[in-house]
Amino acid sequence: MNKMVQKELKGKDILYPELSYKIVGCAFDVFNGLGAGYNEKYYQKAPAESSSKKELKLLQQVNFLLKYQDKIIGRNFFDFLVKNKIA
């Protein structure tokens, strides 16, 4: 992981720190590899490719129920769900 990111995150409460660092590493890989200015579909495909190389289980476009006051009011989706822990 990038030393600057580790320094910024050090001392802060992070859920699943090792997994979070891998995800941030994938994001840096995508940014460094693609840069900015491409269509969204490429930024959807690139993290999936990067995560597979880092042995992260990443699911794309995962549906979930949207609840308000214990009632289902609709459905939405996560762009990514990593190891069923981080969306």
* pLDDT tens-digit readout, 14-61: 888 888 888 999 999 999 999 889 998 888 889 888 888 888 888 889
- pLDDT class for 69, splitting at 50, 70, 90? very high
DSSP state of 56: -
Coil, strand or helix: which one is 34?
helix
| pTM (2 d.p.) | 0.69
> pLDDT higher for 35 or 73?
73
What pLDDT is attached to residue 12?
A: 67
CA distances from 53 to 14, 22, 23, 61, 72 (A): 23, 11, 12, 20, 37
Query: What are the backbone dihedrals phi and psi of residue 41, each rounded to the nearest 5 degrees, phi first?
Result: -60, -30
CA count, 13 A, side-chain hemisphere, 69: 0
Residue 10 has pLDDT above 70, yes or no: no
